[in-house]
């Protein structure tokens, strides 16, 4: 006998579509530069329906941020799984390589940058800290690295953000070479 799960409601089936559209739009325009109407248009639904799914623009932004961190966590987990050995350094290194490849997708990079810029909004600050907690906790647990090693992993990731967001690789200047020395860049 096969069991059939209950079909998703329209709202449940539309929610991931709206979140994906929100991630795309907010990563480009940020919280203040993106309207709910723009997200609704991208999701092919009405703004009123977006507000039926999410009570505020900020809650929609947080849902998009959570989706961003879901993608990051999936990538660093795959990186950890591909580590050539089980030392904390090797695992964190392959996780870092997976993350470097991932942030070549500027939508994930910019979503985090925009979240950092409005982290003083309590709901968004809480969502950002939650995402950072997920990544840090995973890195610590999976690598079995000490606090210094995990902190270095996260700090290095933040430097990668800066380099990619500012397109430092486009500058041949000595300062750019010094700042990006030893940083892995996606192909």
Residue whose pair of structure tokens reads 């009570």 in the numeric block? 55
CA nearest to 69, candidates 103, 35, 36: 103
Structural domain boundaries in the chain: 10-180
Is pTM beyond 0.75? Reply is: yes
Checking phi first, is residue 72 left (phi over 0); if not, alpha (psi -120 to 50) or beta? alpha
Overall fold of domain 10-180? Tetracycline Repressor; domain 2 (1.10.357)
**Per-residue pLDDT at 184:** 65
Q: What is the pLDDT of residues 33-89, one digit of tens each?
A: 999 999 999 999 999 999 999 999 999 999 999 999 999 999 999 999 999 999 999
Structure tokens belonging to residue 3? 């069991």
Q: What is the pLDDT of residues 92-130, one digit of tens each?
A: 999 999 988 888 788 999 999 999 999 999 999 999 999
Residue whose pair of structure tokens reads 């997976």 in the numeric block? 98
Burial class (CB in 10 A: 0-12, 13-18, 19+), 86: exposed
Q: What is the pLDDT of residues 129-166, one digit of tens each?
A: 999 999 999 999 999 999 999 999 999 888 888 888 88
DSSP state letter for 5: P
């Amino acid at each position: 006998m096969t069991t059939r799960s209950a079909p998703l409601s329209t709202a449940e089936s539309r929610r991931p579509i709206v979140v994906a559209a929100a991630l795309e739009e907010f990563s480009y325009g940020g919280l203040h530069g993106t309207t709910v109407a723009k997200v609704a248009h991208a999701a092919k639904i009405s703004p009123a329906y977006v507000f039926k799914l999410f009570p505020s623009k900020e809650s929609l932004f947080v849902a998009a941020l959570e989706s961003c961190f879901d993608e990051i966590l999936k990538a660093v987990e795959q990186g950890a799984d591909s580590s050539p050995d089980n030392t904390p350094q090797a695992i964190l290194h392959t996780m870092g390589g997976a993350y470097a490849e991932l942030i070549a997708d500027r939508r994930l990079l910019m979503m985090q940058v925009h979240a950092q810029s409005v982290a003083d909004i309590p709901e968004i600050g809480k969502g950002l800290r939650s995402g950072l907690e997920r990544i840090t906790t995973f890195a610590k647990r999976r690598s079995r690295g000490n606090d210094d090693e995990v902190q270095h992993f996260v700090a290095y990731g933040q430097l990668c953000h800066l380099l990619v967001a500012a397109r430092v690789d486009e500058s041949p200047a000595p300062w750019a070479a010094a700042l990006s020395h030893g940083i892995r860049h996606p192909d």
